[in-house]
Structure 1
Amino acid sequence: MTEAVSLIAGLAGLTFAIRLAGYLAGAHLPATGRWARAFDALPGCLIAALVTLLLAEAGRIEGVAAVVAFTVAAATRSLPVTMIAGIATVAGLQAVV
């Protein structure tokens, strides 16, 4: 077995183990109450934190694209349309600048 195949097999095994652990742990999480509300809000909080960090380090082009994407998201409530608008804005501004 080559080194690359060993690496891929190991990463696949770890990915499966992490997903299985999440599934098993998720069965023991509360379905109601304060903790359930906190766990429901967690994915959105993580995405907001990552986006904030990226925007803090971004340049003008990415900042303009973020404003465009936010505006499109508020207007359409469509993730694919928002992503396309943001990517098109970055590509268009990079082509111009």
Structure 2
Amino acid sequence: MTLEQFKQDLKRVLSLVATSQRFLDEGKVVELGSLETRIADLCGNAKNLSPADREKAAPFLSALKADLDRLEEGMRSEHASLQRQLRGLNNSNQAINAYAQAARNR
């Protein structure tokens, strides 16, 4: 694999990360399976680069890591928000059930 081929593959992965981030921002489902597979393939291809080309590719991989870190943080934030919402729904359901029980006992 040449460095140029690697960069093209990396651009596709970066585009997939950007799309995943956009989906997350829009509240849509993010499919991580495809992203995980492409990243694994990219890392495998990086191992096949010459030492000089690996050194040249390092900044691009750092950029990928930064994008993935942002996506992870966004997903963690979204997960925490969903957990809070679910707790609120559970508390509401508990209150409704308690009022219903009190009404039946009258």
Q: Output the TM-score relative to the length of structure 1.
A: 0.29
Where relative contact order (Cα < 8 A, 6+ residues apart) is larger, the structure is: 2
Structure with larger Rg = 2
